[in-house]
Amino acid sequence: MATSRNIRRSPLHEHLKARGAVFGEVAGWERANWFAREGQEREYRYSWKRQNWFDNQREEHLAVRNGVGLFDMTSFGKIRVEGRDACA
């Protein structure tokens, strides 16, 4: 099955990418799943143990818990269209 990656991106995509974002696709949207450290491979290495991004997400969790964070919710947006020609 083919996929259409990098078609639907939020306005923050390039900003997040420049800061090490490792993206995944959900419902057609590219979303940052975790952030790689400088020099760290931006890849998923699956394991029965902790994944290679475990410590990265732990650090992000603690930073938000103890400070502040920004959550990009662009892919959760909904648009409601009403009116006579809404279904046209």
pTM reported for the whole predicted model: 0.78
Is the pLDDT assigned to residue 5 strictly greater than 90? no
Show the domain range for 31. Answer: 13-68
Q: Report d(CA 13, CA 21) in Å as an integer.
A: 9
- Examine residue 74 and state whether it is found in any structural domain, yes or no: no
pLDDT, one tens digit per residue, over 24-73 is: 998 889 999 999 999 999 999 999 999 999 999 999 999 999 999 988 99
For 25, left (φ over 0), alpha (ψ -120 to 50), or beta? beta
DSSP the chain: ----TTSB--TTHHHHHHTTEEEEEETTEEEEEEEPPTT--------SS--TTHHHHHHHHHHHHHS------GGG------STTTT-
- Examine residue 48 and state whether it is found in any structural domain, yes or no: yes
Domain count, the chain: 1
- Examine residue 20 and state whether it is found in any structural domain, yes or no: yes
| pLDDT at residue 1, as a whole number | 61
